[in-house]
Every structure is written in C-alpha cells, then in structure tokens.
A and B are shown apart, each in its own frame.
Chain A
Amino acid sequence: MSFPLLTATAVLPALGAVATAAVPAARRTAAKWLALLVSLGTLALAVVVLVRFEPGGDRYQLTESHSWIKEFGVRYELGVDGIAVALIALTALLIPFIVLAGWHDADPAPGSGLPAQKEGAKETGPYHWRPTQGFFALILAVEAMVIISFEATDVFLFYIFFEAMLIPMYFLIGGFGDRAHAHGEQVASTQRSYAAVKFLLYNLVGGLIMLAAVIGLYVVAGNFSLQEIAQARADGSLHMATSTERWLFLGFFFAFAVKAPLWPLHTWLPNAMGEATTPVAVLITAVVDKVGTFAMLRFCLQLFPEASKWATPVILVLSLISIVYGALLAVGQRDIKRLVAYASISHFGFIIMGIFAMTSQGQSGATLYMVNHGISTAALMLVAGFLISRRGSRLIADYGGVQKVAPLLAGTFLIGGLATLSLPGLAPFVSEFLVLVGTFERYPVIGIVATFGIVLAALYTLVLYQRTMTGPVKPEVSAMPDLRPRELAVVAPLVVLLIFLGVYPKPVTDIVNPAVRSTLSDVHKKDPQPEVEAAK
C-alpha cells in the first residue's frame, strides 16, 4: 500500500492541533512556534500533493479507500481532482500566514486576565485557562477539517467534516475577539458572542437541511460514494424522479449557499468577520467559505446535474444580487473589516455565477477566483488588521494620511485593494474576466449587469484607500510605526503571489481546466452543447 498522502495532509494539522493544545500554560511561545511549524509541514505535504498530481491523468488521483461504517454504506474515500488540489494548496498556503499574523492576538490581555480566585476554593485544580494554545490549536483543527472536506469523495465523510468544522470556527469567533472596539470590552464581548452564535446557527441550519438531503440521497442511491453515484447517474442505472432530484439538490445547495455565502443567506458573514480577530476573519472568508463554493462544483453539479440546470436561472439572479448588493453595502461601510466582508459577499457572487454559468470559462474562472480571492482578501485583510491593531479602531474615519507615516503599510494595503478591485496585472483580474466572459456567452444580460460590480469595487476600494491613507496626517496616526519584520513576512509573499499569478496564471489553470471540463461534461451529458475551449 502506498503512502496515504491525502490522509497525512489532513492528519498532520489535526495532530498538531492536539499537540498545540497540550503545550503547558506557561510555554505560550512554544505553542506558537509549534503551530507555525505544523502549518509549514502541512504546506510541504500540500506541495507534494501538487507535484504528484498529474493534470492530464485520471479524474480523481491519489485515491484512498477504506471501509468505514458498513451499516451506513459509508466508506473512507479520498481523492483529489484539479479543483481540490488548487484549494488544498491555497489552504495550506494561507494557514502559516494566518498563524503568523495572529502571533499576538491570543496573548492574555494585560490587566484583564483571569478573574481572581476565591479564597480557599478548590476550583481550577490542575487545569489552567490557556487561550493562546487554544487559539492556535483551533486554527490547525479548522485547517485539518477543511483539507479533508476538499479531499472527501464520500458524501457522508464530506458532510461530517463540513459540519464539524463549525465548532472550532465558532470558538475562534466567539472566544477571541478583536480588542479594537469602540465601546469597551463588555459590549465587544456581547457582540462577539452574538456574531459567533449567528455564524453557528446559520451554518448549522444549513447543515441540518443538508443532512435530510444526505439521508434522502442514501435512500435513493444506496451508498454515499460520489464516484459511484455520479457514474450511475451518468449511465442511467440510477434514476431519480425529477422532483426528488430537485429537493435533494435544494437541500445540498442551501447548505453550501449559507456557507459561501449567497444573498440572502449572507448576513452572518459581516458580523462574524467584523467581530473576529483579523486572522480568523481571513480564515473564514479565504479558507472556510471556499468549502461552500467548492462543494457546489463537486457535489451539486455531479450528483444532481439536471436539477442544477433547472435551478440555474434563479441561482444566477441570486448571485447577481450578491454581486451588486454586496458591493453597494461595501461602499456604505464605515468599518474597515465589515467593508471587506461585504466585498467578499460580492466576490462570492462572482464565484457562484461562474460555477452556474455552465461554461468551461466560467467554471475555470470560478475556481481560479476561489484561489485568487483567498490570496487577495488575505493580503488586504491582514494589512487592514495590522493597521487596526496600531490605532485600536476599526472605523475608517479614525484614519487619515497613513501613507506619509507608514509607507510600506500603505503600499501593501493599496496592492491588496487593487487586487480586490481586479486591476489587470494582478491575479483576480484573470479570474474575474473569465467569469464574466463565461457568463456573457450564455447569459449576456446577466454578464453586463455583473460588470457593474467591478465599477462598484473600484469605488469602495479606492474610497477606502483615499480616506485612510491619503490626506492630512491625523494626530492619532502620526506616531504609527511601519510594518514590522513579522508583518512584512506575512504580506510580502502574498503580494508577490498576486503579481505572479496575475501575469502568469497558467500553472493554476493547467491544473484546474481538466477537472472543470469533466465536471461540465457531467452536467451536459444530456444536452450536448458546443464545448467552448477554455482560455489557456
């Protein structure tokens, strides 16, 4: 038996999470280094996956398959296609930066530490509150679960981690808030737990509705293997009644649309991103939410091709609303983090539109978009986080003239912002262009309207930059230090990557395109259309 590479990629961060959590309370720094090392090790494994993956080869590669819960017809089946490989690489790439960016975020706040122990009370015993260890352990746990849900080709296995990942995310959002809050710790704590509960309830409801659909799928198909079901659907041996297929599709899609998030199920995202620490906000939008869009491609389209086509018009309209509505609300935000959150909603609209445009350009673009959005949002958000931590405020109005004081910070912020508005030459441009072209081919009106999203993106990004970075230097900002070496180490590689993939996206498209073509052929099995050659 060959080395189970995919399992190892997920197990390493999981073990790392346990080890990090077990670091003694006093050895905070050791926990941080351990988490960083583990995330780098995972990145190395992800690179091995990337190298071992042959773009022209089988659809699912590096597969592993073991019997798991026979009574439910569940197998432990892993396998990656090009889309999954790209997203695993993205995840493994971003986590070290997230760890590094959050280096001090979970240190016990000076003064406000633990409540005083009561005299003589035998309470905590040998246990101690260890927020720092917990923070990094939870990040690694999320990484493990995200990676395994990208790898799972068994619906049940996917579902388990899709749902389970909510719990560490929930503790990350609710337990480690942003200290930069205008109204003091008490209000911040209330809003934070509100955001965490909202996040969890939205996603849990989505997940439970999906559970009903998962059970329904089992009743119809008799097993959970994605490949077997997709194969049986394709060769006609598994027939689903039209209404059954549509209900099941809706059950799956609902969960993914909450996670992605798609308008009108998006309202948890601004709260969660606003209240969480910036690294966690990046984790949500750049990594965890990608599972939603990824699952639309992998599960909705492959398992329910007819229903996907049936639902396309509605989904396209919803994604269009997401694009425009998210961008409009971003323009109106006064809070930097919420602005980025609404911008992300707009971008997820593009991704979903690209997936359901059902053209190879649209879907290649969407996949590419997932990767690029991850990198560009991480860059913008993390720099914004550094900015916020210096001034202690999330409000745009509290800043001004930062570029004169901290030119490096302002410069990287600008590049992140320009990437967000899809400036040609930076990575997101390629993907956004592909999505728009792919949509326009089949739905010209929707494509045209969506293009306005770019205009609005330019508006919110540039206004944000202008208000915070240019103009007269505000007195509170005048002593602001520039990026420190640790912060620069976080941002610089992301900026380099943005520029590189903007100029030369071929490495990613080469990996992604074959997978997109086969996904598309699943959907179009019954109504052949002229295949449009994907833009190379």
Chain B
Amino acid sequence: MSASAVHSLWTTAADPISKIEAPKIEYGQLSPILIVLGAALVGILVEAFAPRRVRYHAQLLLSAVALCAAFAAIVALAADGYGTTKAHIAAMGALAVDGPALFLQGTILLAGLVALFTFAERRLDPDPHGHRTDSFVAQAAAVPGSDSEKAAVRAGFTTTEVFPLLLFAVAGMLVFPAANDLLTLFIALEVFSLPLYLMCALARRKRLLSQEAAVKYFLLGAFASAFTLFGIALLYGYAGSVSYATIARVVDGTVTTVNPALVDTMGNDALLLIGAAMIVMGLLFKVGAVPFHMWTPDVYQGAPTPLTGFMAAATKVAAFGALLRLLYVVLPGLRWDWRPVMWAVAIITMLGGAIVAITQTDVKRLLAYSSIAHAGFILAGVIATTPDGVSSVLFYLAAYSFVTIGAFAVVTLVRDAGGEATHLSKWAGLGRRSPLVAAVFAVFLLAFAGIPLTSGFAGKFAVFKAAAEGGAAPLVVVGVISSAIAAFFYIRVIVLMFFSEPRQDGPTVAVPSLLTSTAIGVGVAVTLVLGVAPQYFLNLANQAGIFVR
C-alpha cells in the first residue's frame, strides 16, 4: 500500500463527527433477536440476585417465554410479508430481514425451545442426596474429584447459568444467518460459539471428558474463527467494504471504486479468492464438513448430551444459513470458482461421514459421524444454486433439527451407574426391555437413514432433486451411495436393539418428566408429519427461498 493511500485512509477515518448520521434501527423487525438477547441479560441478573432455590424455575420460565415470544415475533413478521414482498435490509445494512432469515430463525427458535426442555430435565439422574439434578455440573469451578465438588454435589447445586448461556447462543444463531455484512457475521459467530464452548465443559458425569471436549472445541473453533477473520480482512481489502451488497457489486464489476483508500488492492482477484475461501472454511468448520470435521465426534461425545443435541441441530441451521447467504448473495458471480471445490467437499463429506460411522461403537460418536454425512447431503443442496436449492436446504435443516434433538434426548434416557450408557453394546436388547423407547429411537434412525414416510426421506429427496436440477447429477449418485452405506450403521443399531439378547448388566431406561417427553414427542411428530405430508412445509420453504440483496 502506498504512502498516499495510507494517508487517505487516515483522513477518511478522521472525517468530522458531524458527518456521522444517527443509525436508523428497525426495532420491530429485529424484535426476535432483541427479545432473546434481553431475556439472556435478565437471566444473568436472575443468577446474580435471585435466591438459589427459585433460580431454576425462574430461568426455565424466562427462557421458555422468551423463545416463544421471539417465535411469535417471527411469525408476525412473516405474516406481515417481511419474508416475501417486504423483505429488505435492516439496521443500516447489518441484517437482512427476508424469507431465508425468518425461516431459519424460526427453526432455530423452535429447536432452541425443544432443546431447552432437555436442558431442564431433572428426573433422569437419581441423586444420592435427594436433590433434583440435571445433566449439568453442580459447580463448574470445582475441580473434578475434589472435595469442593463433593460439597457442591451434596449441597445440591445446579448450574442454572446454562439457561442464559443457551439464550445467548440462540441470539447469536439468530443473527448469524441474517448477517448482511461480514463484521456482523463474525460477531454473531463469536456470540453463539463462546457459550457453546463453555457449556461443553459443564457435563455432570464424565467431567474430564467434557472439559477435554470443551478445550478441543475452543481451540479448533478459535482457529476457525481466526481463518474467518483473516478472510474478512482480505475481502475488505478486495472490495473496500464489509457489506454483502457492495462486495457482490464489486465481484460483478458494476462498482469499481468504493473506498479511495484501497485503490491498490481493490479488484485483486487473489484477495477475493483467498478471502472467500477462508470465510467459507470457517463456516464449513461450524457445519462439520470434511475436512473440517475433526472436532465433531469428540465434542459431541464429551459435551452434555442435551447440549450435543442443541449444537448438532441449531448450529448446523445457523451455519448453513450463513453459508447460503454468503454463496448466494456475495459470491454468485464467483460460482464457477467455488462450485468445484464445494463439489469435492460435499463428496468427501458424504462418503467420509458415512464410512467412518460404520466403525463407531459409541452412540454419540455414531450420531456425530452421521451428522457429518448429513452435512454432506445438505451441501449437495447448497451447491444447486437455484431457488429450489435454497428451499430444499431450508426444509432439510428444519426436518433434521427435530430428529437430531429427539435422538439425543433418547440417548439421555438410557442410563447405567456411570450416567448415560452410550456404548452401543449396552443398547443390546433395548427393544425387549423398553419397546417404546427403542421404537422411538428406531423411528429417528430410520429418518436419519432417509426411509420413506419419514421427514428424512422428504428432505433427502428435496436436496437431491435440487442438486440434480442444478446439474450436479454425480453428487446425487454419490449421495445415494453414501445413504446406502449410512443405512448400514443405522440398521446395525436397530438390529442391536431389537434382535439381540438383552445383557444382564444392561442399562436402565429412566422415565423422563414431561419436559424430555415433550422434546421426544415433538421429534417423533415432526418426523412423521414431515414424512407423510411435507407439502405445507415445502411450500413455506419455497416461499422463503429468496434472499434479499
């Protein structure tokens, strides 16, 4: 960068204050995000000031009300036409209020609500001291195995901080797919990632495993965030702006000079390609696509299971939403540069996830690899670059979320003396001991496998159809092959549950309270309804499939 350019950069930044306009914020249109953020802040105050015994109920109520209210706000906005005709860019270009954003935000809120129920479950773990305990640690600061931990357990402490943390994560996820400039994107990424890192470390049982998972997730996540940030800087150098619309125009070539300070670097394709690749890399890390998937199995296994369910569902929704917006709004002009790479990523993600899952012996790791394979299927829809592609991905994400949360909720029920019995060998014969629980889990597995009459089939069909129409027929072929491979290990679990003899030292199945039952029930209902009558939701996703630019 030449000296004059640096000079003009300084002078640009030092313009008189009078030129700065007061930002115009459409509070009504941002209300879903604001409600959740506000509730999270109130939640922190509850932690600080409310007595310990009322915290759990206060937090649960507050969180549930906030999520419901935010969802109602989404519905109101959508009914008002913000998803279609009135779609526009709000908050000074920082956030988009359009169909995909509203659809994904609604999905995230509902997933968050269902996940909240599993977070709040306190019936599963019989506590020797007679306290009601959930899946989260008694006192996070207590060293595992120490006296202070024992004291905290005896005192019946629970980490009710998880509720505001959940709300912060949800708020970040709401912003993520709606972010319309790169800085908002990054901030949203951090806002939802940090609470997740933290909550990963909060498992009540197997605490060391949980803390290890959190450290891994944090380190790799920080690495991915750094990539994203670096990419943002390079894209800024290329376009002279962080706004999606401006970058898109620069990529198109309709605008050439945005920022006089950056004349030397602007329009340099190397910056564009490397920058875009780095941002996409960061997003692919969040969705768990091969080769950025390494964290997934360890984190899914170590994290408290309710959180795993929430992460697997909502993070994917948010990150795919952001990825879609980035590829469709910012980089459509660059289609022929990113498509081949994304093809490769999608293919190795589908095959890699499915093949490695075969060898897994832990149900949480199995579901983790299955989620990788599913990320590959969704990528096939992302690559289609047609409106159908967007709506198929939206539909798939909604369908997948509820199956995932439901499946992990079932995992929390199967327990032995050490907490959850996640080793698959312990699930042998579960179908004879608890036919209903096993049948429900079988429904979820069949949905994962994409058997017709489940939501998984409708979703898979939608993305494969979009991919085929978008000219990606080889992806469809790879997709059905990896579906076949994946079916093998889903079915192996079903065989184990139904056709194997129960073990004498087998796990017990806890009888859950209404909370987890609701989460599982919603999962089953959504799975079957979206399987048999997907038309209404497909229609909704179709209407929501247009990005505002």
Binding site for B on A (CB under 8 A): 68-72, 114-115, 118, 121-125, 127-130, 159-161, 163-164, 166-167, 170-171, 174-175, 186, 189, 192-193, 196-197, 200-201, 204-205, 208-209, 211-212, 215-216, 218-219
Contact = CB atoms under 8 A, between A and B. Distances in A.
A200 B469 contact: no
Contacts of B535: 68-71
Nearest to A73: B465
A216 B429 contact: no
Given A68-B535, A72-B465, A122-B511, A216 B473 contact: yes
Contacts of A164: 451-453
Given A167-B446, A212-B476, A219-B468, A115 B432 contact: yes
A208 B534 CA distance: 20
B150 to A, nearest CB: 25
A123 B542 contact: no
A114 B476 contact: no
Given A122-B510, A123-B509, A127-B434, A215 B476 contact: yes
B452 A123 contact: no
Contacts of B534: 69, 71
A531 to B, nearest CB: 38
Contact of B511 (A125, A189, A215): A125
A295 to B, nearest CB: 15
B396 interface: no
Given A167-B451, A200-B491, 9 more contacts: A70-B538, A72-B465, A115-B433, A115-B504, A161-B452, A189-B500, A201-B484, A208-B483, A215-B465
Contacts of B476: 212, 215-216
Contacts of A123: 433-434, 508-509
A315 to B, nearest CB: 22
A70 B534 CA distance: 10
A186 B501 CA distance: 9
A212 B498 CA distance: 30
Contacts of B458: 69
A189 B434 CA distance: 19
A65 to B, nearest CB: 15
Contacts of A128: 435
A148 B143 CA distance: 61
Nearest to B535: A69
**Contact-residue bracket for chain B:** 35 or more
Contacts, number: 123
B143 to A, nearest CB: 33
A71 B539 contact: yes
Given A164-B451, A175-B499, A124 B465 contact: no
Contacts of B462: 71-72
Contacts of B464: 211-212, 215
A174 B542 contact: no
A454 B151 CA distance: 82
A72 B487 contact: no
Contact of B480 (A124, A197, A211): A211
B538 A160 contact: no
Given A163-B452, A212-B480, A174 B495 contact: yes
B510 A189 contact: no
B473 A189 contact: no
Nearest to B391: A71
Contacts of A70: 535, 538-539
Nearest to B453: A164
Identify whether the interface residues of A are mostly helix, strand, loop, or mixed.
helix
Contacts of A196: 495, 499
Contacts of B434: 123-125, 127
Contacts of A186: 501
B381 to A, nearest CB: 12
Interface of B: 391, 429, 431-436, 446, 451-453, 457-458, 461-462, 464-465, 468-469, 473, 476-477, 479-481, 483-484, 487-488, 491-492, 495, 498-502, 504, 508-511, 534-535, 538-539, 542
B80 to A, nearest CB: 24
Contacts of A216: 468, 473, 476
A70 B391 CA distance: 14
A115 B504 CA distance: 8
Contacts of A127: 434-436
B508 A205 contact: no
B435 A219 contact: no
A204 B483 CA distance: 9
B495 A71 contact: no
B226 to A, nearest CB: 40
A484 B178 CA distance: 72
A72 B538 contact: yes
A159 B504 CA distance: 42
A115 B429 CA distance: 10
Q: Which 7 A-B pairs have the closest CB atoms?
A: A71-B538, A160-B452, A193-B499, A208-B480, A164-B452, A69-B535, A127-B436
A174 B538 contact: no
Nearest to A127: B436
Contacts of B457: 160, 163
18 contacts: A68-B535, A71-B535, A71-B538, A72-B461, A115-B501, A123-B434, A163-B452, A174-B495, A189-B499, A189-B501, A197-B495, A201-B487, A205-B484, A211-B461, A211-B464, A212-B477, A215-B468, A218-B468
Contacts of B429: 115
Contact of A197 (B452, B491, B511): B491
A163 B451 contact: yes
A376 to B, nearest CB: 31
A141 B509 CA distance: 28
B473 to A, nearest CB: 7
Contacts of A122: 508, 510-511
A215 B451 contact: no
Contacts of A192: 499
A134 B37 CA distance: 49
A124 B433 contact: yes
Contacts of B504: 115
A35 B501 CA distance: 28
Contacts of A193: 495, 499-500
Nearest to B476: A212
A495 B487 CA distance: 41
B435 A130 contact: yes
Nearest to B509: A123
A160 B460 CA distance: 13
Nearest to A113: B432
A118 B415 CA distance: 14
Contacts of B484: 201, 204-205, 208
Nearest to A128: B435
Contact of A209 (B473, B480, B495): B480
Given A161-B452, A163-B451, A208-B483, A121 B508 contact: yes
